[in-house]
Amino acid sequence: MTDLTLSPDDIATAVDAALKEDVGSGDATTRATIPADARLRGSFRARGPLTVSGLPVAAAVFERCGDGITFEPVLADGATAEAGDVLAHVEGPAEDVLTGERTALNFLHLMSAIATETRRYVDAVEGTGCTILDTRKTLPGLRALSKYAVTCGGGTNHRMRLDDAILIKDNHIAVAGGIGEAVRRALAADTGLTVQAECDTIEQIREALAAGAHSLLLDNMPPAMLRRAVEVVDGRVPLEASGGVRLHTIHEIAATGVDYASVGAITQYLPAIDIGLDLDG
């Protein structure tokens, strides 16, 4: 489990693709209506409560739209904001700023929504000792940004890619001929990666432990069964609850004693986040 640092390469890849998608050969409306020498200054404001994420990405958008743009963050990623709070200022040639406005806002909306939803889950498990994890259920092409946003909300990253760790799931188990056999094969492969096994039953937990799994993913187990799993494992390996975790159930799940709860919803089912660019003066 790691906390992702957003790299310049991750930002550049996402921003370049987004601008190509949105701008094409140029902003026809702005070119047709705005004087070439016009300048503007504006403020990105929260329209409601949120946890901030995506300011470095918004800055990169404007860097690519024109050399004369200045982007000044007021808050930092991970900060909380209320309605009316200024997240950042932008100033420069009006044509360049307006060309990048929607792309910058799209990144801020998406990433702040993920951070805000993650924060709700993190707050809901406070005091239980359980850590909120993300999953690989992210928008294609935007995984690095999405997982970075999770860390802005106080969550922790699970696997970034399939090569980060071995996670033996139900289809692996079926093809391998059982959970014990799948774990033994994974360990024998000697990859140096941690081996986690997905368990649906208490019997599978016992088999995976006996085979030497480093950690267990407890799939779609109700709270009573999670508590039983915690008793059976007795601290020998970390336990992760997964499957169908929602905000209204997360505290009860966390209180069973599991070490982690992985939540696909924090990168899939996002709250509406509204951030606008208001012109100053």
Q: Nearest Cα to 88, choosing from 65, 61, 115?
A: 61
Residue found under tokens 């924060």: 119
- The sign of the torsion formed by the CA atoms of 7, 8, 13, 19 equals positive
Distance of CA 162 to the CA centre of its chain: 16
Residue found under tokens 């993300």: 134
| Catalytic status, residue 72 | no
| Catalytic status, residue 198 | yes
Q: pLDDT of the chain along its 281 residues, tens only?
A: 555 678 999 999 999 999 999 999 989 999 999 999 999 999 999 999 999 999 999 999 999 998 899 999 999 999 999 999 999 999 999 999 999 999 999 999 999 999 999 999 999 999 999 999 999 999 999 999 999 999 999 999 999 999 999 999 999 999 999 999 999 999 999 999 999 999 999 999 999 999 999 999 999 999 999 999 999 999 999 999 999 899 999 999 999 999 999 999 999 988 889 999 999 86
The fold of 123-268 is TIM Barrel (3.20.20)
Instruction: Sketch the domain layout of the chain as residue ranges.
Output: 8-115+271-279, 123-268
Say what the alpha-carbon torsion angle 78, 268, 134, 181 is, to the nearest 10 degrees. -170
| Catalytic status, residue 231 | no
Tell which CATH architecture fits domain 8-115+271-279: Alpha-Beta Complex (3.90)
Residues 169, 203, 231, 246: which is the catalytic one?
169
Single pTM value for the model: 0.94
Residues 41, 47, 102, 185: which is the catalytic one?
102
Q: CATH topology of 8-115+271-279 equal to that of 123-268?
A: no
| Catalytic status, residue 147 | no
| Catalytic status, residue 20 | no
